[in-house]
Amino acid sequence: MKLLALLSLLALMLQEARTASLPKTEKEREGDQPHGEGDSYAVLHPGDYVLSPDSYDQVIDLSNYDELTDYRDQLPKVKGTSLASPTRTSFTQSTSAPRTPPSNPTMARPTTRGLLLSLTSHGLPTCLICVCLGSSVYCDDADLENIPPVPQTTAYLYARFNRISHIRTGDFKGLTKLKRIDLSSNFISSIDDDALLLLPALQDLILPENKLAALPVLPTGIEVLDIRLNQLQSSGIQPEAFRALEKLQFFYLADNLLDSIPRSLPLSLRSLHLQNNMIETMQRDTFCDAERHKHTQRQLEDIRLDGNPINLSLFPSAYFCLPRLPTGRFT
């Protein structure tokens, strides 16, 4: 019995000696390292973590997938059969084939009416190359060769500094609310007679710095007519062209080729500029009708005839009914 106990004790001592001589395993070496709050190698054993009400908010509930963002739908979809690597593209960039850039880096603007009409027929906005602000449309310096289509609610149209050479019938069709047309600094040489007749609300027609040699039939509601710096001749004005313009107040004809003062001017006229023309003479009833309006004082207070070869002192009976004498040469 004592021998058996001695042998058991000897076997136990040999086992402990053998265990002490063996190297520690990787897990045992990690277990020997102290666990600290800032230690990046610290291992958290599930058995050491105790769930308590104080630490409950640290538990992440992975069952709530609504908070997770899935970016797979934002990845570009590349279609094709080629084994070549796809071109890197932005998430927001279209995956369609890129357009071939034009040879001219400058963006080309449509300059013909046909092109504009074909675009608007597909339901696109009418302000393609113009700036539309309320009832005002600005088409200045846009290399236009024709009047562009504009909304029918347009009241003020500005198309200055372009290449418009002719105003055709139908260019202003349907623009019944149009009050002002400003086509300064173009190349307009002709206007169809009925191009402006269907504009009942037109008040201001501004056409300086063009190449007009004749005037079309004008709407009766015009109040301001500016045709300075053109090539207008007296033969291009119909004899009774202005008699029906009962609202015309400001008439600017300076720097043209007129050889006479227009006849049948309306009584509403307040300002008439005719300087720098070729006027040499005038009729007795140019401003005053001795038979019908002998004692009528007209509102025409501003008449400019300076820069003409006419001697105003030779025609004193031509403006006896005016509130003041014209500006010009009296000697």
pLDDT at 125 over 60: no
- The angle subtended at Cα 275 by Cα 273 and Cα 281, nearest 5°, is 100
Residue by residue, what is the 3-state secondary structure of the chain? CHHHHHHHHHHHHHHHHHHHHCCCCHHHHHHHCCCCCCCCCCCCCHHHCCCCCCCHHHCCCCCCHHHCCCCHHHCCCCCCCCCCCCCCCCCCCCCCCCCCCCCCCCCCCCCCHHHHHHHHCCCCCCCCCCEEECCEEECCCCCCCCCCCCCCCCCEEECCCCCCCEECCCCCCCCCCCCEEECCCCCCCEECCCCCCCCCCCCEEECCCCCCCCCCCCCCCCCEEECCCCCCEHHHCCCCCCCCCCCCCEEECCCCECCCCCCCCCCCCCEEECCCCCCCCCCCCCCCCCCCCCCCCCCCCEEECCCCCCCHHHCHHHCCCCCCCCECCCC
Reported as a pLDDT band with limits 50, 70 and 90, residue 271 is very high
Comparing CA positions, the residue from 106, 109, 114, 152 lying closest to residue 130 is 109
Does the global pTM surpass 0.75?
no
What is the residue type of 181? I
Distance between CA atoms of residues 269 and 282, nearest Å: 18
pLDDT tens readout for residues 8-47: 777 777 766 665 555 554 444 444 444 444 444 444 444 4
* Partner residues linked to 138 by β-bridges: 131, 158
Distance between CA atoms of residues 245 and 254, nearest Å: 19
- Phi, psi angles (nearest 5°) of residue 132: -105, 120
CA 221 to chain centre: 30
Cβ atoms of 241 and 221 within 8 Å: the answer is no
Sheet holding 131-133, edge to edge: 131-133, 136-138, 156-158, 180-182, 204-206, 224-226, 250-252, 271-273, 302-304
pLDDT tens readout for residues 154-202: 999 999 999 999 999 999 999 999 999 999 999 999 999 999 998 999 9
Distance between CA atoms of residues 309 and 281, nearest Å: 9
pLDDT tens readout for residues 196-249: 998 999 999 999 999 999 999 999 999 999 999 999 999 999 988 998 999 999
Query: Who contacts 171 (Cβ-Cβ below 8 Å, separation ≥6)?
Result: 146, 147, 195
Highest-confidence segment of 24-28, 53-57, 81-85, 240-244: 240-244
Distance between CA atoms of residues 277 and 256, nearest Å: 5
